[in-house]
Homo-oligomer: A and B are copies of this chain.
Amino acid sequence: MDYPKLSAHVDSRKDEFLKELGTILRIQSISADPSKKGEMVRCAETIAGMMSSAGIENVRLFQTEGNPLVYGDHIHAGDKPTVLVYGHYDVQPVDPLSEWVTPPFEPTVKGADLYARGSTDDKGQLFIHLKAFESFRTLFKSLPVNLKYIFEGEEEIGSVHLEPFIRSHAELLNADVVVISDTSMYGRDMPTICYGLRGMAYIELTVENAGIDLHSGSFGGAVENPVHVLADIISKLHDKYARVTVPHFYDDVLDVSKQERGEIARLPYTDEEFLRQSGAVAPYGEYGYTTNERLWIRPTLDVNGIYGGFTGEGAKTIIPAKATAKISMRLVPNQRSSKIIELFETHVQQIAPPTVKVAVKKMHSGEPALTPIDHPAVRAASDALELVFGKKPYFILEGGSIPEVLTFQQALDAPVVLLGFGLPDENSHAPNEHLYPRHFFDGIKTVAVLYEKLGRR
């Protein structure tokens, strides 16, 4: 592949590409706003038109009970790998509008950046894939991989219709690798691949004594207080090294190689910056691990909410009838949410005193996901990034979950590569969302090179 030719081509089209991106950035496709239904359809149709113009075939809209999904493909590479590209054309709401320095749906270049709602999340990144396809096809005629595209309009409202669609169209979407550009690089000029996500087991723990709140004058001191018991249980769930004390909790945690920990260690990190981002008083977590390791490769247990008794203004003197904690455990490979919940419940029932009733209710769960760092698809992405950015990419993980990643991985049994070109400070869900055009153009080049790298397999 003639990379200088590709690079020169993209560079020569900069204004044109940004202008074309502006067309879809102008569409107010806020999926959370029911009054924008028309805009959603207009955005889907506009993107479908762009796909056809670029040479993508079989372009069609799939209606759902919500917003349409846009599909297209280009299957002319025979037994070469098939790449499925996912993106979303819906955007976050814009309020508070007063905090925007430029109108959210009028793309505006300010300094080095392009300001508009959706510029980075995810219209800009979706558009990278269209321009990569178009550029490759214009320059080199035939594509070295088979390509499929699926773009949804409900990512910002929970992707409710995506999973059933994927499951019922597994053959249509069948692919060897899924590429998603909807995440951020670790920082400017730091090409990044995200190769894993933590899973989740979410439960509700309730401690109950009397069926009703009791007057603390009439009963205080002579009955067990459910809040005290809940506090006791919570305080026993971690040891003084911030390790989770549920027996066998760590049994299935996959060993993380020295190489991977080395990759994490070479990322720029300072406590000061972490504290600035989090607002926390101090870094705190499992003994023996760095902050990024705590966030990415170690499972956690956190109370996400707690309530019991009187929670209004002022004072009320009661022994609460019951107290509840919402608790989530972030999981890492190869922990399984069902087993973890079982271990949790067994442990809690074992340490619960006989003076109360304790119940564990399963809320929701998701498994951890990992595309190994040495997977051929990850390596192809890494090579593409290195060629375009001129430096070895950084390997990161994500502490949260991205539901569609799991769905693709499970329903299609295909590895997912998270090749994000956003930046952490581009305000993807806040006022003044913006895009750094250099990463946008480098993204186009990277994706085109990635076709070539994947085609060599």
Give the B-binding residues of A (Cβ under 8 A): 198, 200, 202, 209-212, 214-225, 227-228, 230-232, 234-238, 274, 278-286, 291, 294-295, 298-300, 302-312, 314-320, 323, 325-326, 328, 330, 354-357, 363-364, 398-401
- Whose C-beta in chain B lies nearest to the C-beta of A230? B231
Q: A301 to chain B: closest CB distance in Å?
A: 9
**Alpha-carbon gap, A311 to B87, bound state (A):** 33
- Whose C-beta in chain B lies nearest to the C-beta of A203? B315
Q: Which residues of B contact A234 (CB under 8 A)?
A: 227-228, 231-232, 235
**7 A-B pairs with least C-beta separation:** A217-B400, A210-B279, A305-B310, A231-B234, A305-B309, A221-B300, A227-B303
Interface centre among A211, A221, A225, A230 (most CB of B within 10 A): A221
Q: If A221-B285, A221-B286, A309-B306 touch, does A280 touch B210 (CB 8 Å cutoff)?
A: yes
A400 and B305 contact, CB distance less than 8 A? no
- Whose C-beta in chain B lies nearest to the C-beta of A217? B400
Q: Which residues of B contact A221 (CB under 8 A)?
A: 285-286, 294-295, 298-300, 302, 330, 399
Q: If A305-B309, A316-B305 touch, does A235 touch B231 (CB 8 Å cutoff)?
A: yes
Q: Which residues of B contact A225 (CB under 8 A)?
A: 302-303
Q: If A215-B400, A224-B282, A399-B218 touch, does A326 touch B315 (CB 8 Å cutoff)?
A: yes
Q: A76 to chain B: closest CB distance in Å?
A: 39
**Alpha-carbon gap, A314 to B305, bound state (A):** 11
**Alpha-carbon gap, A235 to B304, bound state (A):** 19
A281 and B357 contact, CB distance less than 8 A? yes
Choice from B223, B283, B330, B400 contacting A285 with Cβ under 8 Å? B223
A-B contact pairs, 28 of them (CB 8 A): A202-B315, A202-B317, A209-B281, A210-B280, A214-B279, A216-B400, A217-B399, A217-B400, A217-B401, A220-B328, A223-B278, A224-B280, A224-B282, A225-B302, A227-B305, A227-B325, A230-B231, A230-B306, A232-B234, A281-B356, A302-B319, A303-B309, A304-B316, A304-B319, A305-B308, A311-B311, A311-B326, A315-B326
Q: A356 to chain B: closest CB distance in Å?
A: 6
A295 and B219 contact, CB distance less than 8 A? yes
A304 and B309 contact, CB distance less than 8 A? yes
**Alpha-carbon gap, A230 to B53, bound state (A):** 59
**Alpha-carbon gap, A326 to B319, bound state (A):** 11
